[in-house]
Amino acid sequence: MGVSLLAAVVSFRHMHELCLRHGEDRLAAVLIPPAVDGAIVVASMSILLASRYGSRGSALAWIMLVAGSSASPGANIAVAEPTVTANHRRVAIGCPDRVVRTSDV
């Protein structure tokens, strides 16, 4: 539960920051991340329910699952800033700045 909560917070922060960087107002920047993650959950549940009845799920559910699942890590990558430290490269994908800074110690 703790790891999933941490992942959800990090994902929210990255999508929120990306929305603000691209000119969305604060309300939209707060609503977009749960909408993306919500689409993933709803699509997953729809596919799961369909599989219980012997179906593969609708094309729309699969499209929403793939789109949402691409948008979330896409936001992490877009917000990450590559850094060079002590002759090695590190790209902070999906990792908050505080965690990255403490890993340099």
What are the tens digits of pLDDT across the range 12-26? 999 999 999 999 999
Residue 94 lies inside a defined structural domain of this protein: no
Q: Is residue 87 part of a domain?
A: no
Flag whether 49 is in a domain. yes
Is the residue at 47 inside a domain? yes
Is the per-residue pLDDT at 58 higher than 80?
Answer: yes
Domain annotation covers residue 6: yes
**2-21 and 26-52 helices, crossing angle to 10°:** 130
Report d(CA 49, CA 78) in Å as an integer.
33
Percentage of the residues of the chain whose pLDDT score is greater than 90? 55
pTM for this entry = 0.68
The dihedral through the CA atoms of 69, 13, 45, 27 has a sign that is negative
Q: What distance in Å separates the CA atoms of residue 105 and residue 66, rounded to the nearest whole number?
A: 37
| Beta bridge partners of residue 84, listed in sequence order | 89
State the residue range of the domain holding 27.
Answer: 2-80
Question: Does some domain include residue 101?
Answer: no
Task: Please report, for residues 32, 54, 69, the alpha-carbon distance to residue 39 in angstroms, rounded to integers and kept in the order given.
Answer: 11, 22, 9
- 103 in a domain, yes or no? no
Please provide the average confidence, as pLDDT, over all residues in the chain.
81
Residue 96 pLDDT more than 90? Answer: no
Q: Which has the closest alpha carbon to 34: 72, 79, 73, 3?
A: 72
Mean pLDDT, range 65-80, rounded to an integer: 89
Q: Into how many domains does the chain fold? A: 1
Q: What confidence tier does 83 reach under pLDDT thresholds 50, 70, 90?
A: low
What is the predicted pLDDT for the residue at 17?
A: 94
Report if residue 99 sits inside a domain.
Answer: no
How confident is residue 103, by pLDDT bands cut at 50, 70 and 90?
A: very low
